[in-house]
Amino acid sequence: MKQSALKFFASGAFISYLPTAILKNKKNTGAGLLGSIEAFLIYILLGPMSFWAYFFLLIGIVLFATYISQKVQFEGVEDNPKIVIDEIAGFFIAAAFLPYSLKIAVLALILFRIFDTTKFAFIKKAENIATKLSEETRKKYCLKGAEIVLDDVLAGICANLILWILIFCKIL
């Protein structure tokens, strides 16, 4: 896949370029938030889905995000802020298998962003799990892409679990 196509998908159809275009001389501030909002809007537009349709969509998004994050080349750090496909995957995990409603989707977005930005200890530790491996091993098994996506997957799982607890306790 060409770098231009990889950058298109990695940046959420170039949405992550907006903060630097608007906020001159700022360093991609808000790109992750925009990627999460984009995922929220896609989720709302897709509407309710069967368990299996959502399951396969979720697997596809996570695998695609891992592949794209592995292959895309931006200047600077590996987990470049312009890569927001991981936020898209993370939000879809946060909303996974929950009752479909605007209120729950908004709460999933808010909780996901809280967990994604704060990166509690276990999320930060998991994000750096493969850094001790050789560059060759990391490339061979797409571990660089997995590292980029893993913190968002864990943030999505945390948000999802909290929402299920709130639903179970009949708070939502």
Tens digit of pLDDT per residue, the chain (172 long)? 798 899 899 989 989 888 766 666 565 568 899 999 999 999 999 999 999 999 999 999 999 999 999 889 877 666 788 899 999 999 999 999 999 999 999 999 999 999 999 987 777 777 666 666 777 776 666 677 888 899 999 999 999 999 999 999 999 8
Please give the model's pTM, rounded to 2 decimal places: 0.89
To the nearest 10°, report the CA torsion of 120, 125, 126, 128: 130
Please provide the size of the chain in residues.
Answer: 172
Sorted by where each begins, the domain ranges of the chain are 3-168
Placement of tokens 């991981």 in the chain? 86
Task: In whole angstroms, give the CA distance from residue 49 to residue 127.
Answer: 30
Task: Give first-to-last CA distance, the chain, whole Å.
Answer: 43
Task: In whole angstroms, give the CA distance from residue 30 to residue 99.
Answer: 28
Task: In whole angstroms, give the CA distance from residue 114 to residue 11.
Answer: 21
